[in-house]
Amino acid sequence: MPEILDRARTQVLENGVGLDEADILAVLNLPDEHLPAALQLAHEVRMRWCGPEVEVEGIVSLKTGGCPEDCHFCSQSGLFTSPVRSVWLDIPNLVEAARQTAKTGATEFCIVAAVRGPDARLMKQMREGVAAIKAEVDIQVAASLGMLNQEQVDELVEMGVHRYNHNLETCRSYFPNVVTTHSFEERWETLRMVRESGMEVCCGGILGLGETLEQRAEFAAQLAELDPHEVPLNFLNPRPGTPLGDRPVVEGKDALRAIAAFRLAMPRTILRYAGGRELTLGDLGTRDGLLGGINAVIVGNYLTTLGRPANADLELLDDLKMPVKALSATL
Ligand code: SF4
């Protein structure tokens, strides 16, 4: 057994203290033969500090495409040639999407908009949309609307949005290679306001943007410092027409090493499979991740790419004897 896993067993599993950056890197560098042991330990950590439940979430795009920012992985940027045009969803369709999501047993419904930050029109849509969902559907509402000012943070709290997603996407040192229209610090500032408001902080990113393993470890350590309630972990699904459209997908084993390392860095967080896992891991790998530290999934489709059918995931959870987290347990 490699020394790092022995140490992690005491520090993370028994004492609940996450690994630091150097140790995260050691996990990311583990040879293939030690990967099963790393995943097994990450799974034990998740069971010990989070329990067996899996949180299920659905996401919907309130405003798709035409974003003025230039995140190099994103087909919703209006600055690239990727074929996603600006489209708005109306309130009845938003409520219907929430209803369909609730039917799968999901407890979280996240409303997403491709924007730098919300304008008055988007905040109005949110006010009406969140109120309509709350009146008709039994589900918690989360939001992801880009960078916020204090007034917008306060308004979202007032609407009853309980969790806010704002991804750092990658580590501080690599961020300028991925986004040039805003800074890592601007994103961090929104996260700080969200944390102080009492909303739950959801913050993750995308692996496979061209970052080194050192930068992947740096990213996990920076997320651990932020200590978010939830970390959505995406693997790049290279979109045609974006600057990262030709990047190779993350190797399955590297993705699994990253899942184990992120769990060992953050024993108590909700670590959610988000986009790209179908491409990187396939069905078998999805199972490995759920047995290697992941404890939340997104059901149905992602924003611009298709996911696995909701049933396939729910059947897998049943198979693994992992109960879907109930709404009453989260309220
Ligand atoms: S990731 Fe968000 S902010 Fe960046 S281009 Fe895409 S929609 Fe815009």
CB of 178 within 6 A of ligand 1: the answer is no
Q: Decide if 330 is inside a domain.
A: no
pLDDT digits (tens, 9 = 90+) for 195-252: 999 999 999 999 999 999 999 999 999 999 999 999 999 999 999 899 999 999 999 9
Residue nearest to atom 7 of ligand 1 (CA): 114
Ligand 1 centroid – CA 29 distance (Å): 31
Range of the domain at 22: 18-321
Q: Decide if 229 is inside a domain.
A: yes
71 known ligand binder: yes
Q: Which atom, in ligand 1's list, is nearest to the CA of 69? A: 5
Q: Decide if 8 is inside a domain.
A: no
74 known ligand binder: yes
Model pLDDT, residue 328 = 62
Q: Decide if 251 is inside a domain.
A: yes
Question: For a pocket test of ligand 1, which of 62, 70, 74, 87 has the largest count of ligand atoms closer than 8 A to its C-beta?
Answer: 74
Q: Which atom, in ligand 1's list, is nearest to the CA of 74? A: 6
Three-state SS annotation for the chain: CCHHHHHHHHHHHHCCCCCCHHHHHHHHCCCHHHHHHHHHHHHHHHHHHCCCCEEEEEEEEEEECCECCCCCCCCCECCCCCCCCCEECCHHHHHHHHHHHHHCCCCEEEEEECCCCCCHHHHHHHHHHHHHHHHHCCCEEEEECCCCCHHHHHHHHHHCCCEEECCCECCCCCHHHHCCCCCHHHHHHHHHHHHHHCCEEECCEEECCCCCHHHHHHHHHHHHHHCCCEEEEEECCCCCCCCCCCCCCCCHHHHHHHHHHHHHHCCCCEEEECCCHHHHHHHHHHHHHHCCCCCEEECCCCCCCCCCCHHHHHHHHHHCCCCECCHHHHC
Ligand 1 centroid – CA 193 distance (Å): 20
Number of domains in the chain: 1
Model pLDDT, residue 301 = 60
Ligand 1 centroid – CA 145 distance (Å): 10
CB of 133 within 6 A of ligand 1: the answer is no
Model pLDDT, residue 331 = 44
CB of 313 within 6 A of ligand 1: the answer is no
pTM as predicted: 0.93
Q: Decide if 5 is inside a domain.
A: no
Ligand 1 centroid – CA 82 distance (Å): 13
Model pLDDT, residue 308 = 56
CB of 67 within 6 A of ligand 1: the answer is yes
Q: Decide if 233 is inside a domain.
A: yes
The tens place of each residue's pLDDT in the chain, 331 residues long, gives 899 999 999 999 999 999 999 999 999 999 999 999 999 999 999 999 999 999 999 999 888 888 999 999 998 898 888 766 677 888 998 998 899 888 888 899 999 999 999 999 999 999 999 999 999 999 999 999 999 999 999 999 999 999 999 999 999 999 999 999 999 999 999 999 999 999 999 999 999 999 999 999 999 999 999 999 999 999 999 998 999 999 999 999 999 999 999 999 999 999 998 877 778 887 767 888 888 999 998 886 655 555 556 677 788 888 888 888 887 654 4
Q: Decide if 326 is inside a domain.
A: no
Please report, for the domain that includes residue 269, its CATH number.
3.20.20.70
CB of 71 within 6 A of ligand 1: the answer is yes
Q: Decide if 13 is inside a domain.
A: no
